[in-house]
Amino acid sequence: MGRAMLLQRWLGPTLLSAGHRSAGGRNQTPFTPKLKHLSLFRSPSSRHGMAEEAKKLAGYAAVDNHVQNNQVVGVGSGSTIVYAVDRLAERVRQEKLNIVCVPTSFQARQLILQHGLTLSDLDRHPELDVAIDGADEVDAALTLIKGGGGCLTQEKIVAGCAKHFIVIADFRKDSSVLGQQWKKGVPIEVIPMAYVPVSRTIAKRFGGEAVLRMAVSKAGPVVTDNSNFILDWKFEHTHNWKEVNIAIKMIPGVVETGLFVGMAERVYFGMEDGNVGVRDPPVN
């Protein structure tokens, strides 16, 4: 069964944007997130419920369209990936699939084990067939901000090892340009001793402010799975993200950035009306 048929099988019509295409590749009516203003008339609990359902739709679509038997699958981190793993486990049980999973974080590892899926790592499986992960924000060119959950380095490593990197998100993460929806900045993982000089260098060279992320349920800063700190760079304007990503990574003490440039092959957006939008990279 083809991707388009799989998507239509349970999702119905697919919403598309200028860069949104159907799974079969045909250009459709341009989509813009016009439903956003309707949320003004909904309670916060109602909007939260819609966002959770949207995450589920996106996660299910990605697994149904990109996971096949005898594959090694990279499992991302965050709230949306929970639904993708639910669907993956369901398909493994129902279809008797042979799937090996490589996690991007402690959270992803626990999800894999809780669902009884086969756990592996990059030592044993350094090349993945597909990686599925969420995003904090996606722009029109499929440039991503990731790392709101603090797992950006492992997420980028796993995505870079995959033949296909597929992103899942709800309607709140869809932006024309980075910073339009996500206001918390670009996460940057740093060696602890370097967080002050790195923060100063970023602000001086690129503007804005790079703030040390503080923990909520513990005293002191957030500490990553790699025992590092995270700076959240709140930029002031749109940049050439490819150039900025490279420049920041060259600063001594920087481990990785939450800018994922030219990595995503496709993004599935769960929408407010129960449909799924599909965005592919723009054709240059």
Residue 33 to residue 54: CA distance in whole angstroms:
14
Task: State the chain's maximal CA–CA distance in angstroms.
Answer: 55
Is 52 among the residues known to form the active site? no
Quickly tell me which residue has 């894999």 as its tokens.
Answer: 112
Residue 58 to residue 50: CA distance in whole angstroms:
12
One of 52, 127, 137, 155 is an active-site residue; which one? 155
The 10 Å Cβ neighbour count of residue 161 is 17
Concatenating the DSSP letter of every residue in 141-152 gives T--EE--TTS-H
Contacts of 120-125 with C-beta under 8 Å, sequence gap 24+, read 120/72, 122/157, 122/158, 122/161, 125/72, 125/100
Residues with catalytic annotation? 155
